[in-house]
Structure 1
């Protein structure tokens, strides 16, 4: 019954638990009263043990401080404890034998006490009632008992017992009322009034009554039971919901596992099919006769199989690593087919370049899909084609350009862009540079453009820039001894018009061509109606297709038209003869015919020719010629400024100095440090030896703009034609290459 009551207690609310606990306590008290109330054990008797005579002898020197402390705590002599039932003599220390456990062999820990005494002490130990007073504090001392207070023990009493105790004390007694929904602290008289039938209204609205069968308490208990039952119902519903959710999750998991099993089953079937197809392809390839069906027949069988697998089983193709299997089989078949293959020497027993390209395109789709940018296909090319292609292109005759260019154009669809660019930069471009290094412009009967121009559409811009720099350097060295009357230079340079960058062409012409043309125009062209030789003039103006027009017009305005106007004026002022003006007119037409149409259409050239006609018309009408000459002199600076602006528009700098500043420019011109026709490199070698400076190639810097970099003293330099470039370091690191004069280089090198 008690177990059932405890189970019920756990299910009820707190207030109901308190009520049931109080009732149970009352029942226990009544049961104990019926069985007999006088069975309480008496307090233990004081212990009758003789005190040791030597006890406390050691404390005489200190005045018995310990005894004083014990007396202050209520000790009156005899045994220890509240009822003097403890030991009298102190515990004596006794050496226990080595490795002996506690209590082994009847060993006694307490001195002078038998086992019976110990049992009696343990059996008679019982606490006194609460009414026992604390030991009084000794007057005149500051000592007080220390220690933690024991928690008060709760005692449950009936109303009748409390009344009896209150009558004895004649004082109101506080009681704990546990009859309502909440535990309340009240006084005994109020409880008595309630038992007499008087109702008391509490603050929460509950009104207890004196009757045991009243309805409010029963209603409250029923509400508590209903609330508890509703809680159980909610818990049951929640449990049912949880079970349904668990069942639903298990069903979903079962469906997922079933789908996974089905997928794995299909994957296993696909894998078995793939293995069967690959084995069949290997058997079919092994049975092929290469001599009858061709060298690429085995590769075709493998390509057909893997193309089909990639198209129909694309996921499994990547999942099971079939590209690597295809690579191994394809590389093996292509190596057999290309054994002894020479790209530039086709053979009937070997595949042609077009056949090889078609096969490589198929393998490109198999290994890399439609993009063809992965590393696996490039690895296939490295193992099969690239080594033979490198040998063929690195040793070919680039002057016989038809075969290598055709080979590259046919292979290009099968080569990824990075691989094709690598072939051009690493195999073709070095071969062209090597051939240009052996080219001699003055001795080679074949012009360089005839075998370099076909490569322009093949090579990338980076490789072409290096080749063009090398060609310009070779031509500049060859044009040092060139004379403008020789037309071979024009044959070599004219094909490069439109191929080289305009700025590069202008630098080359201004350094190697224009100075000699200007010298020929100023000193070699003579205008004399009696003895005329137009050959030097034709040698100058035939460069109009290569040299920018503003440069040639500047030469004519500065060095030719002044001579031509002077000769015309002298002839017009000479004594009149028969047919004089007809002769002047034919002479004017002859010079006009020597000027190309492109030059003649230039506004400044057209203005000069028109001024000549104005002079002839003025002479025929006997008008003075000086006003026309003066207007021409005044227009000359404006014409030069127009030419300068035209040159700047193309980024080609000034072309000629005005006549008024020609003398000043000549005075400012620096004199060479060393005489003779020495090159810049030879001049630097002599200066380095004279000044004790280091002048040698800088292997760390290598090449710069197609020219070798040298160390000159503390500077790095390179020589491009007749121009000296010096590396000027910056403060934060790096620097720039700038053109320098030799005098400035010497100051910097020191």
Structure 2
């Protein structure tokens, strides 16, 4: 009985297995039939695409949009098969002859959006930017990338090389911005590295600062958002050209067009040093040699050449320029007027108001400039108090001497008290030293002359220390750089940031 029971059980299990296997095979057959059906339908669609492609290829003015419904059908009805069987190859093969003909007649500089509207609707079908650009593994090109590389890019290369001039960046910039989202990284890199940047660099190299046909920023700035890590290579050459331009620049030329835009592409210290070296001395010379204060026939031209630079120079530097070259002359004429026997204080007041209004508000608010006008007001008030004795007793102001005395007093005060964030006034020509002093003050450091000179360079030595005045380092200023001790007795040029770090160690 036990044997019969076991045999019956085995028979039952065999029947169950056969039933399950039958179901599995039936399901598999159904799946295979469904797959065959889907593949047959895919074949029908691809045949239809091929037929439509041939039809469009024989049409003089082919419209790629006619293929859109068929491509959409592939994507919507067969999404899994589209990726599994690489149906994007069929899409590219279908449009290749038409794209080749369209591209042959296309000018990317005149019509940058050509083909883009069509491709925008086919991004999924063409697998645009489907590759992982962060991967370091080199992969073969996709059909779409191959189409771009072999058909589209040669036309772009020809137009940019033969027709585009960096002096007129707009067509190429517009083209690049239009297509950037449809291009794989290696194609974008090729366009920038092989076509755009070499022409920009050649244009910068041949740019003549004496006789520029276009502004330097017109060559460079439109491309800055697109250059990425390449930006410094382009800007280095442009900065050198800008310095060369400023060497030949004259105040009568006015502030160069869009010059303030360059401030953002320079380090702050480099920008200040460049202006101190190439601009400030020329502005000082204009005020010193060409500017005259003449109440009867005032020529404002020299001052008009200087004032626009107020927003580009450090306030302390611009203030020092006016205190050194403008206010001494202005106060001299004011004094000459006030000692006249029949001076009209009403006319003096009008003249004073005229001059103050001549300066923009941002300049009036600079402490040194405000001090100059206050000194003039004090002179007027003293003349009023002296009355008839003014011609004999009103002392002629020596503003340069007053500034020198104020500077000495400020330095003496700073030795015993923490420095405020102001730069001591000086009467000598504006130099890089003013930037160093202001930078030190901004970081609560003292910058004090030692009365000694560096043995080799013979440049005056200064001690940079904290508010206590103890310790610190000895430095000298030469060639728009701060020189500090290195190893042994040798001095080397350091940045202002390094100077602060050395003092605060």
Task: State the TM-score bracket (shorter-chain normalisation).
Answer: 0.5 to 0.7
Match of 2:410 among 612, 632, 637: 637
- 2:486 matched to which residue of 1? none
- 1:609 matched to which residue of 2? 373
Match of 1:329 among 91, 94, 107: 94
Q: Offset of 1:622 from its aligned partner?
A: 3.0
Match of 2:259 among 464, 486, 494: 494
Are the aligned partners of 2:363 and 2:369 in contact in 1 as well (CA < 8 Å)? yes
- 2:153 matched to which residue of 1? 386
CA 1:654–1:353 in structure 2 vs 1: closer, same or farther (change >3 Å)?
Answer: same
Q: Verify: 1:338 aligned to 2:127, yes or no.
A: no
CA 1:666–1:539 in structure 2 vs 1: closer, same or farther (change >3 Å)?
Answer: farther
- Unmatched segments (≥5 aa) in structure 1: 1-231, 346-351, 646-650, 673-721, 726-736, 741-750
Q: Offset of 1:657 from its aligned partner?
A: 11
Q: Offset of 1:475 from its aligned partner?
A: 2.6
1:257-288 per-residue CA deviation (whole Å, 9 max, x = no partner) reads: 32222111111121122223322332333244
Q: Offset of 1:237 from its aligned partner?
A: 6.6
Q: What does residue range 35-46 of structure 1 map to in structure 2 within 5 Å?
A: none
- 1:276 matched to which residue of 2? 44
CA 1:392–1:538 in structure 2 vs 1: closer, same or farther (change >3 Å)?
Answer: same
CA 1:456–1:383 in structure 2 vs 1: closer, same or farther (change >3 Å)?
Answer: closer
Give the match's secondary structure for 2:125: helix
Q: Offset of 1:613 from its aligned partner?
A: 1.2
Q: What does residue range 351-362 of structure 1 map to in structure 2 within 5 Å?
A: 353-362=112-121
- 1:320 matched to which residue of 2? 85
Q: Verify: 1:514 aligned to 2:269, yes or no.
A: no
Are the aligned partners of 1:554 and 1:655 in contact in 2 as well (CA < 8 Å)? no
Please, what is the CA RMSD of the aligned residues? 4.7
CA 1:379–1:540 in structure 2 vs 1: closer, same or farther (change >3 Å)?
Answer: same
Are the aligned partners of 2:109 and 2:171 in contact in 1 as well (CA < 8 Å)? yes
- 1:135 matched to which residue of 2? none
Q: Verify: 1:585 aligned to 2:349, yes or no.
A: yes
Higher relative contact order (CA 8 A, sep 6+): 2
Output the CA distance in 1 between the equivalents of 2:177 and 2:351. Answer: 58
- 2:33 matched to which residue of 1? 265
CA 1:315–1:482 in structure 2 vs 1: closer, same or farther (change >3 Å)?
Answer: closer
Give the match's secondary structure for 1:643: coil
Output the CA distance in 2 between the equivalents of 1:724 and 1:555. Answer: 21
Q: Verify: 1:545 aligned to 2:316, yes or no.
A: no
CA 1:361–1:290 in structure 2 vs 1: closer, same or farther (change >3 Å)?
Answer: farther
CA 1:603–1:249 in structure 2 vs 1: closer, same or farther (change >3 Å)?
Answer: farther
CA 1:290–1:539 in structure 2 vs 1: closer, same or farther (change >3 Å)?
Answer: same
Are the aligned partners of 2:275 and 2:313 in contact in 1 as well (CA < 8 Å)? yes
Match of 2:127 among 368, 382, 394: 368
1:674-726 per-residue CA deviation (whole Å, 9 max, x = no partner) reads: xxxxxxxxxxxxxxxxxxxxxxxxxxxxxxxxxxxxxxxxxxxxxxxx8799x
- 2:137 matched to which residue of 1? none
Output the CA distance in 2 between the equivalents of 1:602 and 1:289. Answer: 73
Return the TM-score normalized by structure 1: 0.48
Q: Verify: 1:556 aligned to 2:322, yes or no.
A: yes
Give the match's secondary structure for 1:321: coil
Are the aligned partners of 1:398 and 1:432 in contact in 2 as well (CA < 8 Å)? yes
* Bigger radius of gyration among the two: 1
Q: Verify: 1:474 aligned to 2:241, yes or no.
A: yes
Are the aligned partners of 2:331 and 2:376 in contact in 1 as well (CA < 8 Å)? yes
1:234-256 per-residue CA deviation (whole Å, 9 max, x = no partner) reads: x9877766665565455434323
1:402-427 per-residue CA deviation (whole Å, 9 max, x = no partner) reads: 43344334444543566446534542
1:26-79 per-residue CA deviation (whole Å, 9 max, x = no partner) reads: xxxxxxxxxxxxxxxxxxxxxxxxxxxxxxxxxxxxxxxxxxxxxxxxxxxxxx
Output the CA distance in 1 between the equivalents of 2:114 and 2:271. Answer: 44
CA 1:588–1:253 in structure 2 vs 1: closer, same or farther (change >3 Å)?
Answer: same
- 2:199 matched to which residue of 1? 431
Output the CA distance in 2 between the equivalents of 1:381 and 1:324. Answer: 14
